[in-house]
Structure 1
Amino acid sequence: MNYMFPASYAWGNFSVLAVGIWAIVQRDSLDAITMFLFGLLLTVVTDIIHISLFYPSNKDLTDLKRFSVGMVIFSFLLKPVSCYLVYQMCRERGGDCTFNIDVSSAGRDRSTYEPIDQQDAPSQWPDSSRTAQQPY
């Protein structure tokens, strides 16, 4: 049979579906729902690439291929709604579900830097300015 989309399209969507089933089964797992959300977002991007690269020309469109492309486009249009619903589920489970790359603090902020090669050696003799209290 002459397939229109490559196997990577099916593998990507079925693997995200498997993670989605894992997220539904384990209701207390924040990792599962976060992976499902980012997997859905990734498949949105890969669906755009697959549709744009592998859409057949008009002379090659049979009824079966036209139906297949219609289902792929319908699935693509439903994914933003799915992403929103999964995001709401993530927030209900107590997750933040934000993808944060903090570029501004990636510089040379050395306020919390503790050098380990230059340790202050403890003094050998007690500090003479402090006198020990005499026990009574």
Structure 2
Amino acid sequence: MELPAVNLKVILLVHWLLTTWGCLLFSGSYAWSNFTVLALGVWAVAQRDSIDAIGMFLGGLVATIFLDIIYISIFYRSPTADDTARFAAGMAILSLLLKPFSCCLVYHMHRERGGELPLRSDFFGPSQEHSAYQTIDSSDSPAAPFATVEDKGQAAPRGY
């Protein structure tokens, strides 16, 4: 399935607008969680080559799906509320309904940047990029890396 090419800035703008309107009724943790994730999205726009930025944005979107479900279900008022409250609740629900589609688009961008899903057992282990690191144990070096002067057959200087 070919996903449409959508700019990350458009995704951010739509979710920012819907979150701002949702904050007319829901505030506190709803606003903090959604605006924090949008800040991660701004980071992903600013650093176009960063796998970490787009990965954090994707993870944040997934997390706010669950947080929004919990927050809206706890703090949604009765349908007899005024028009502003119904509009704000509708925009928060619309944002929640659009987030899975946004996650698919952001995941596609994550894959384009070279990212993978952290499904392996070394998720909290070392980074995948090892080309910039120097190996610690080198088999081509005859001497041990921390060999003392005595190990090399020379006398140690006095006073040590």
Counterpart position of 1:5: 26
Counterpart position of 1:42: 63
Counterpart-to-counterpart distance in 2, 1:45 and 1:101? 23
Counterpart-to-counterpart distance in 1, 2:41 and 2:79? 35
| 1:3-52 deviations in Å (ceiling 9; x for gaps) | 64240000100000000011011011100000000000000000000111
Counterpart position of 1:130: none
Counterpart-to-counterpart distance in 1, 2:95 and 2:76? 15
Counterpart-to-counterpart distance in 2, 1:41 and 1:101? 19
Counterpart position of 2:79: 58
Query: Which residue identity is paired with 1:70?
Result: G
Counterpart position of 1:25: 46
Larger Cα-atom Rg: 1
SS at match of 1:16: helix
Counterpart position of 1:108: none
RMSD (Å), alpha carbons: 1.3
User: Does structure 2 conserve the Cα–Cα contact (< 8 Å) formed by 1:4 and 1:56?
Assistant: no
Moved over 6 A (4+): none
User: Does structure 1 conserve the Cα–Cα contact (< 8 Å) formed by 2:44 and 2:50?
Assistant: yes
Q: Calculate percent identity across the aligned residue pairs.
A: 57
SS at match of 1:84: helix
Is 1:94 matched with 2:114? yes
Counterpart position of 2:96: 76
Query: Which residue identity is paired with 2:70?
Result: I
**For structure 2, which runs of at least 5 residues remain unmatched after alignment?**
1-23, 122-160
Counterpart-to-counterpart distance in 2, 1:10 and 1:43? 11
Counterpart-to-counterpart distance in 2, 1:4 and 1:87? 30
**For structure 1, which runs of at least 5 residues remain unmatched after alignment?**
103-136
Counterpart-to-counterpart distance in 2, 1:44 and 1:82? 11
